[in-house]
């Protein structure tokens, strides 16, 4: 495709940006001046890169009210320095009080893992989701409906990421120093827009282990 056509795609975004600026400043003349000093979020949102799952809009929060990290299938891998750096910055610098792992039903990354689909370099990332699948295979293999099985794996993946976050030395150190941090797991439905609590909230190491075993025994 010619470069001029690509340039037109970008120009459309610039035009929409100017339209958006005009709209928000008409509604709130101090919007941008206030935003400059508004990086004081209480929440760290760890979600999927899926373009249909925008963090701020889903929960009705303004810019500056939620710190966001996104990747394929909302994973927190212990060797992923990108995610770990975000978590440490959120805890040590921004002093967030809540870390929320947000999965969504019908996640294509989780579906790829469940169906052993080959994508390319992303297969190395999706391997971590396959580990979640293998860990919970006993439960999943009894779910006959493919859509229900996928939805359940999406939920189990959120649970495992809550545990992974709680096991990081970043969170462990913060808890040991008495810092008030809760980790939550939620799931979003593209079908109705509802964000559901998966009842995974933990606030210390002991609760992390107890909650995990309780959820698996349901």
Query: Mind telling me the catalytic residues?
Result: 48, 50, 52, 104, 107
Please give the DSSP secondary-structure letter assigned to residue 109. H
* DSSP code at position 199: S
Q: Say if residues 132 and 157 touch (Cβ distance below 8 Å).
A: yes
DSSP-derived secondary structure letter, 145: S
Query: Which candidate, 48, 216, 47, 46, places its Cα nearest to that of 132?
Result: 216
The separation between the first and the last C-alpha atoms of the chain, rounded to the nearest angstrom, is 54
Q: Is 45 exposed, middle or buried (0-12, 13-18, 19+ CB in 10 A)?
A: buried
By the 8 A CB rule, do 96 and 181 touch?
yes
């Amino acid at each position: 495709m010619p470069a001029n056509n690509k340039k037109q795609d970008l120009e459309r975004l610039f035009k929409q940006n100017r339209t958006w600026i005009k709209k928000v400043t008409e509604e709130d003349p101090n919007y941008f001046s206030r935003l400059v000093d508004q990086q004081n979020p209480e929440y760290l949102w760890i979600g999927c890169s899926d373009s249909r799952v925008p963090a701020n809009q889903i929960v009705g929060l303004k810019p500056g009210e939620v710190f966001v990290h996104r990747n394929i299938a909302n994973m927190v891998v212990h060797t992923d320095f990108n995610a770990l750096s975000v978590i440490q910055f959120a805890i040590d610098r921004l002093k967030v009080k809540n870390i929320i792992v947000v999965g969504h039903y019908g996640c294509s990354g989780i579906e790829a893992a469940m169906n052993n689909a080959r994508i390319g370099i992303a297969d190395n990332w999706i391997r971590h989701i396959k580990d979640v699948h293998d860990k919970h295979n006993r439960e999943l293999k009894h779910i006959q409906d493919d859509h229900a099985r996928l939805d359940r794996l999406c939920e189990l993946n959120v649970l495992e990421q809550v545990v992974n976050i709680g096991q990081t030395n970043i969170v462990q150190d913060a808890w040991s120093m008495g810092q008030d941090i809760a980790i939550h797991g939620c799931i979003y439905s593209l079908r109705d827009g509802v964000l559901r609590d998966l009842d995974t909230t933990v606030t210390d190491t002991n609760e992390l282990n107890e909650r995990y075993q309780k959820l698996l025994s349901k």
